[in-house]
Amino acid sequence: MSSDAVILEAPDRGETVDATARAFAEAFGYEPDGVWSAPGRVNIIGEHVDYQDGLCLPMAISHRCFVAAARTPTDLVRVRSAQSDVVFEGQAGDLAPDAVEGWPAYVTGVLWALRPFISGAVQQGVDIYLDGHVPLGSGLSSSASVECASAEALESLLSLGTTPLDRVRACIAAENDFVGASTGGLDQSASVLAREGRALLLDCRDFSTTPVAWDLAGQGLALLITDTRAEHSHAGGEYADRRRDSERAAEILGVGTLRDIDPAGLDEALGRIDDEVVRRRARHVITEIQRVRDFDALLERGSVREGVAQLGALLNASHDSLRDDYEVTVPALDVAVDAARAAGAHGSRMTGGGFGGSTIALVEADSAQDVAQAIADAFAREGLGSPAFFLALPEDGSGQDR
């Protein structure tokens, strides 16, 4: 047996806002102009389809990144984080891809990506202090929470006049083109556009979103997040390999992206792909997009409670496809998912890019603790480290806190 599983709660939002403002004042010696924040996210279903113009269904979680910031009278950009000793200091006009090392690139990259909106003032300096409460590198998108909170601060401080979608696109550009970590846009869309009490049906073809009722608590249900704490790296080669495989499949099938393949013609389409690996990659993307349609249709038709068995089955099918066809799971993810299912979860799957990171399980609210304990016990049996547990409550997207 392992020790008691603890389901962790996000820190109080008001207190964290105060603490971030105080930390800014200590770091820079004066009061910030404001405090902004953006959440991490879980993707409920629709994984590894964003870069194939697919559909996905993320929601924001309670864990957020807070940014206290101020406009300065100089052209200096200074960035600090409560989670790191690394400090960035550089001139606004010098920001360019590859010019900034380490985590500060996630912040300065957003300033760089927003420069088309900064009329004649690319020399404007800012001081930024961030305090992130989304666990880093857990597949819950701490990176997007940093970017999107920064974008929100810059929008306000520099009166840029950007739309939420402009900020989504700037944050995607920051991560892809400035940090150099491949991202399809799911994370940034969720972090900016999420709505409280809703999941967000996201069409990655045009980043249009439709809020979907996702009232778990009112129906005695919960979404348990397990951060496996297994090593996870997105910038790494595996993620790029999967993207390449799916692009290759689209090329063979003569379509722009796999979104264009009608799932009704799945077998015929797969029959035209000789390479066995590329064929399985295509099968995942095409069937996963259909699972999102099916999931959304169930939620359109009735409550989560009414559709819970079928919704759970779709979550299970998604994980199995990611494990067998897309091959982005690792043992810790499979152990967490198997243990949740065995402990009575309606369904469970990995969430995020894979190769480590987190899983979700759709559970009865009053059994969340037992499911968490079953997962912790399975980890102990398998000699895996201790996982961390959270409940995913659908929160609002990025905005100003003060």
Q: Which is nearer to ligand ADP, 39 or 312 (CB)?
A: 39
Q: Which does 7 bind (CB under 5 to 8 A by kind): Mg ion, ligand ADP, none?
A: none
Please choose, from the candidates 223, 221, 202, 224, the residue with its C-alpha nearest in 3D space to the C-alpha of residue 211.
202
143 binds Mg ion (CB under 5 A): yes
103 binds ligand ADP (CB under 6 A): yes
Q: Which is nearer to ligand ADP, 39 or 307 (CB)?
A: 39
138 binds Mg ion (CB under 5 A): no
167 binds ligand ADP (CB under 6 A): no
Q: Which does 103 bind (CB under 5 to 8 A by kind): Mg ion, ligand ADP, none?
A: ligand ADP
Q: Which is nearer to ligand ADP, 137 or 312 (CB)?
A: 137
109-138 positions binding ligand ADP, by CB under 6 A: 130, 132, 136-138
Residue 252 exposed, middle or buried by CB count within 10 Å (0-12, 13-18, 19+): middle
Any catalytic annotation for residue 401?
Answer: no
Question: Is 73 within 8 Å of 137 (Cβ atoms)?
Answer: no
How many residues form the binding site for ligand ADP (CB under 6 A)?
Answer: 19
Catalytic site residue from 50, 53, 127, 187:
187
Q: Which of 37, 43, 52, 81 touches ligand ADP by CB under 6 A?
A: 81
83 binds ligand ADP (CB under 6 A): yes
Binding site for ligand ADP (CB under 6 A): 65, 81, 83-84, 103, 106, 130, 132, 136-143, 146, 234, 352
Q: Which residues bind Mg ion (CB under 5 A)?
A: 141, 143
